[in-house]
Amino acid sequence: MNPSVEALRRIATSPATIGTYALLVVPFALGWFETQLFSPLALPGYLLFSIGTAIGNALAPRFEFWIYWAPFLVGCFGIASAVGAGYEWWCGRRSA
């Protein structure tokens, strides 16, 4: 396999990537499903989603807020991948 593709696959499936993604999305999704289930763990996802909707609403006021789930999920994966890349780089340095 191409080394760069292999590196991307490793980052995408890194425990740091998956863990960060789950941390950003799952607590927030729980609270979105039922308000009473919001917890302090939902704060990062809450801030990302709220600020995202504020920007989106300023640019395109006619969209309903559920539309912003798509960019939210993609954005969270971007952040999680950055964390995963850092984690893989740190693991590589440690084992070198």
Partner 1 sequence: MRRRTILAAGGVVVGSVTAGLASRLPTAHRSLSAARRPGDAGEASTNAEPLLPGTDHETTLYEIDAPRDGPTAMVFGGVHGDERSGIVVARQVAEWRPDAGTLVVVPETNRVAVENGEREGVDGDLNRHFPADREPLTDLARGIWDAVERYDPDVVLDLHRSLGIRGLHREFVGQAVYHSPDARGEELAAALDDAVPWYLPFHRFAASETNLSGPLLFQKAARELGASAYLFETTEFLLDREARVELTRLAAAHVLDMHGLLDAEGER
* From 1-9, 21-29, 70-78, 88-96, span contacting partner 1 (CB under 8 A): 21-29
Structure tokens at 44: 């990062």
Nearer Cβ to partner 1, position 13 or 89?
13
In the complex, the residues that contact partner 1 under the rule CB under 8 A are 13-16, 18-19, 22-23, 26-27, 30-32, 34-43, 46, 49-50, 53-54, 57-58, 61, 65
